[in-house]
């Protein structure tokens, strides 16, 4: 039997959160942020922005989450920068969650899995976001490859954008909401994993308390929405309740707006991380 390439993602995430605190910071080179940093929309400026964020944060926070779309718009030059971000962030000890939200069927989903989760892929991250809206079962190639390589996937369940509510809160054939069905499907995949499974879900920090039951998930919950989208550290307990220890709050622009000085970015991340840690242990 072939030995695993690395420890399971659930163990690796648990370890890095224990060492660095529970925070995921997005690297989103949005044009408005480039402008705020006195940068233009060129590949050189993209690299300066992204690598400044890596320099400031990769040695400090548990997870960095590059938003692939903001790199893809620059074509091959942008993808080259993204490869560098992933490589150097991992070398500094952060886990890299690549926000790609891929979802397809059959051989196409397998190709996406190979692009981001295969051991030898130039864009291999520690985890990726995936969309289950072609059916949770369609994600099997990514879920399987992630398990094989010690990586993870975060499945969109209840997102923070208002447009998603109608679909995600509609009733599935199981009798639960579609979002709850996705959470429960992830729970089945994670069954018996220790300390938790490699399949997480995405559930916005802005959702209503009680919208979802995470008690059986046994996996991480990526919670976007802190800051710009209106959620606060204080509201995390209201939304996630007993599942709060498995929550990985994520924020992007509320940290990145403090650039371009690395020290200011680092200080902003420390403030949010320490607030979340105090909430967990208070």
Q: Where are the domains of the chain?
A: 9-281
Residue (of 199, 209, 197) closest to 244 by Cα position = 209
CA 222 to chain centre: 6
Q: Which fold has domain 9-281?
A: TIM Barrel (3.20.20)
pLDDT of residue 1: 39
Average pLDDT, the chain: 94
pLDDT in tens, 41-83: 999 999 999 999 999 999 999 999 999 999 999 999 999 999 9
Residue (of 184, 169, 180, 182) closest to 216 by Cα position = 184
Residue (of 267, 217, 259) closest to 248 by Cα position = 217
pLDDT in tens, 191-202: 999 999 999 999
**Alpha helices for 92-176 (secondary structure H):** 106-117, 140-149, 165-168
β-bridge mates for residue 127, sequence order? 97, 152
- Give the catalytic positions in this structure: 101
Instruction: Kindly indicate the confidence band of residue 3, based on its pLDDT and cuts at 50, 70 and 90.
Output: low
């Amino acid at each position: 039997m072939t030995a695993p390439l690395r420890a399971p993602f659930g163990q690796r995430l648990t370890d890095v959160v224990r060492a660095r605190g529970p925070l995921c910071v997005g690297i989103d080179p949005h044009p408005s942020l480039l402008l705020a940093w006195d940068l233009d929309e060129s590949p050189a400026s993209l690299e300066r922005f992204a690598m400044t964020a890596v320099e400031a944060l990769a040695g400090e926070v548990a997870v960095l989450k590059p938003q692939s779309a903001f790199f893809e718009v620059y074509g091959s030059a942008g993808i080259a920068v993204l490869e560098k971000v992933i490589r150097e962030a991992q070398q500094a000890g952060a886990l890299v969650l690549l926000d790609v939200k891929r979802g397809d069927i059959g051989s196409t989903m397998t190709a996406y899995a190979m692009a981001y989760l295969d051991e030898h892929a130039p864009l291999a991250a520690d985890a990726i976001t995936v969309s289950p809206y072609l059916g949770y079962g369609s994600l099997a190639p990514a879920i399987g490859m992630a398990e094989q390589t010690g990586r993870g996937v975060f499945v969109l369940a209840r997102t923070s954008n208002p447009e998603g509510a109608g679909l995600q809160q509609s009733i599935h054939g199981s009798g639960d909401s579609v979002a709850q069905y996705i959470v429960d499907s992830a729970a089945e995949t994670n069954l018996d994993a220790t300390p938790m499974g490699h399949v997480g879900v995405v559930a916005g920090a802005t959702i209503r308390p009680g919208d979802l039951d995470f008690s059986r998930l046994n996996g991480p919950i990526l919670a976007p929405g802190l800051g710009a989208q209106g959620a606060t550290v204080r509201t995390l307990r209201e939304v996630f309740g007993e599942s709060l220890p498995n929550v990985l709050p994520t924020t992007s622009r509320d940290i990145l707006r403090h650039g371009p000085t690395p020290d200011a970015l680092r200080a902003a991340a420390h403030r949010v991380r320490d607030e979340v840690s105090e909430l967990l242990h208070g």
